[in-house]
Structures are given as C-alpha cells and as structure tokens.
C-alpha cells in the first residue's frame, strides 16, 4: 500500500512541501502575545499538505522539512522534536480520505474532524513524545521540558486550528467547479 501511495506527484509534493515548510519556518513566524515565543505558521502548512497528499507525504514533509531546517538554520538537528513533526504530519494525514478536500467541500463537520484530529495528534506529540525524548536523550529536567512542550503544543494547536483551517477552506475553494457562473450587469 505504501509503494502505491508514493507516486511521482507525492514525491515532488514531499520535496517542494519540505522547501515551503522551511521557508515558512524561517520567515513567517508571527510574534505571539507570550513573550519570546512565536507562532509557527509552518505547522498550518504541514496540516494542509497532509490533508491534501495523505499520511506518508505528511509524515515525510514534517520529517524532511523540520530536520533540514534545523540543519541549515541551527547547524544541528533536534531529533526529539523532529519526530513530533513526523508524527503530527502522519496522524493528520490519516483523515485525508475522510475530509476529501478535492471535492471542494469543507463544511462544519469536516472542520470539526480536522481540528479534533490535529489537537489529538499535537497533544500526543508535544505533551508526550517531545518531552519524554528530551528526558531520555538529553536528561533535561522533567518539569522544564513538559512546560516547553505545553507552550509549543498549545501555540501550534491554535495556529493549526486557525490558520490551518483558513488554508484548508481557501484550498477547497480552488477545487470548486465553476460551471454555474453567469455575468451580472
């Protein structure tokens, strides 16, 4: 099943998706109300790509995008957090079929599905996986990494919830058939 999913288009989507993920991570982070933290728009994009191209593409965009960005921006890769991006991309991608964004419809029930899944995925990722790996690998103090995870998780949930939903809505609009249009005077 995996072999079949990785069509050329998916491979290209992973590559270009990772590039866009990196550019967004580097250039489009918004100053947030909490001092010294910023809103990472790249996760909203990751969510969109996962919904459009499915779980494998979502996971790999998260993995490659995050790892490459760490590497070229910071000179080393924080694997404990990269794993979270992979996980979040994968889990959100699992609802791709159910949301079926190509149909051009992104209604309330799909919006709810999307947000429930993204919140669960990010909760597991940021509240559990990231801190536990940080403790295991770096022996960082538990309370510190859990607070960090909490901040990152909540801010990413809000970002994906708001910007991700806006992006999905905008994307679904471009898929609508437009044969019922007529000129108005």
Partner 1 sequence: MKKPVIEFNNYSFKYHSQVDPTLKDLSLTILEGEKVLIVGPSGSGKSTIGHCINGLVPFSYKGDVIGSLKIKGEEAKDLDIFSLSKIVGTVLQDPDGQFIGLTVGEDIAFSLENDCIEQKSMVALVEEVAEMVEMDRFLSSSVHHLSGGQKQRVSLAGVMVDHVDVLLFDEPLANLDPATGKYAMELIDRIQKETNKTVIIIEHRLEDVLHIDVDRIIVMDDGRIVADMNPDELLASNILEEIHIREPLYVKAAKYAGCEVTEEMKPSKPLSFAVDKEKLIAWYESTDSIIPRGKSEPILELNEIAFQYHAGHETIQGVSFSIEKGEMVSLIGKNGAGKSTISKLICGFEKPSSGTIYFDGQDITKDTIKERSERIGMVLQNPNHMISKHMIFDEVALGLVIRGVPEQEIKERVESVLKICGLYPFRNWPISALSFGQKKRVTIASVLVLDPEIIILDEPTAGQDLRHFTEIMDFLVELNRNGKTIIIITHDMHLMLEYTPRAIVIDSGKKIADESATTVLTDAEIIKQANLKETSLFELAKRAGIREPKEFIGRFIRYDKEVRKNWQ
Partner 2 sequence: MAVEMLSYIERKSPVHELTGVTKLLCFIIWSTAAMLTYDTRILLFLFILSIVIFIVSKIKVKEISFILIFILIFLLLNNIAIYLFSPQEGVKIYGTSHILFEIVGRYNVTIEQIFYQLNITLKYFTVTPVALLFIVTTHPSEFAASLNKIGVSYRISYAVALALRYIPDVQRDFRNIALAQQARGVDLSSKEKLSKRIKNAASIMIPLILSSLDKIETISNAMELRGFGKNKERTWYSARLFQSKDYIILAVFVLMLVGTLVITFHDGNRFYNPFL
Q: Per CB under 8 A, does 107 bind partner 1?
A: no
Binding partner of residue 1 among partner 2, partner 1, none, CB cut-off 5 to 8 Å per kind: none
42, exposed or middle or buried, with CB in 10 Å at 0-12, 13-18, 19+? buried
The DSSP result for 43-100, as a single string, is HHHHHHHHHHH-HHHHHHHHHHHHHHHHHHHHSS--HHHHHHHHHHHHHHHTTHHHH-
Beta-bridged to residue 31, according to DSSP, are 38
Output the CA–CA distances (angstroms, integers) from residue 42 to 31, 65, 93, 103, 144, in the order listed. 14, 9, 16, 24, 24
Q: Per CB under 8 A, does 185 bind partner 1?
A: yes
Q: Per CB under 8 A, does 139 bind partner 2?
A: yes
Strands 38-40 vs 29-31: parallel, antiparallel or unpaired: antiparallel
Output the CA–CA distances (angstroms, integers) from residue 140 to 14, 33, 82, 125, 129, in the order listed. 33, 26, 17, 17, 14
Q: Per CB under 8 A, does 170 bind partner 1?
A: yes
Region 58-117 residues binding partner 2, contact defined as CB under 8 A: 60, 64-65, 68, 71-77, 79
Region 143-162 residues binding partner 2, contact defined as CB under 8 A: 143-144, 147, 162
Region 166-185 residues binding partner 2, contact defined as CB under 8 A: 166-167, 170-171, 174
Instruction: State the minimum distance, in angstroms, from the CB of residue 175 to partner 2.
Output: 11
Q: Per CB under 8 A, does 27 bind partner 1?
A: no
* Interface pick for partner 2 out of 1, 4, 8, 181 (rule CB under 8 A): 8
Closer residue to partner 2, CB minimum distance, 120 or 166: 166
Binding residues (CB under 8 A) for partner 2: these are 6, 8-9, 11-20, 22-24, 26-33, 38-39, 41, 44-45, 48, 60, 64-65, 68, 71-77, 79, 137-144, 147, 162-163, 166-167, 170-171, 174
């Amino acid at each position: 099943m995996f072999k079949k999913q990785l069509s050329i288009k998916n491979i290209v989507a992973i590559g270009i998706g990772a590039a866009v993920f990196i550019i967004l991570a580097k250039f489009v982070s918004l100053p947030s109300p909490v001092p010294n933290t910023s809103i990472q728009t790249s996760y909203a994009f990751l969510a969109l790509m996962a919904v459009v191209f499915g779980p494998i593409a979502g996971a790999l965009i998260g993995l490659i995008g995050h790892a490459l960005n760490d590497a070229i921006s910071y000179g080393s890769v924080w694997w404990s957090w990269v794993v979270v991006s992979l996980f979040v991309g994968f889990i959100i991608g699992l609802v791709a079929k159910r949301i079926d964004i190509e149909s051009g419809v992104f209604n309330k029930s799909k919006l709810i599905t999307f947000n429930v899944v993204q919140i669960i995925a990010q909760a597991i990722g940021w509240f559990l996986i990231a801190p536990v790996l940080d403790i295991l690998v770096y022996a960082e103090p538990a309370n510190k990494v859990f607070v960090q995870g909490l901040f990152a998780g909540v801010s990413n949930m809000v970002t994906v919830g708001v910007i991700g939903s806006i992006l999905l809505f905008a994307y679904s609009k471009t898929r609508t058939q437009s044969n019922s249009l007529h000129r108005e005077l």
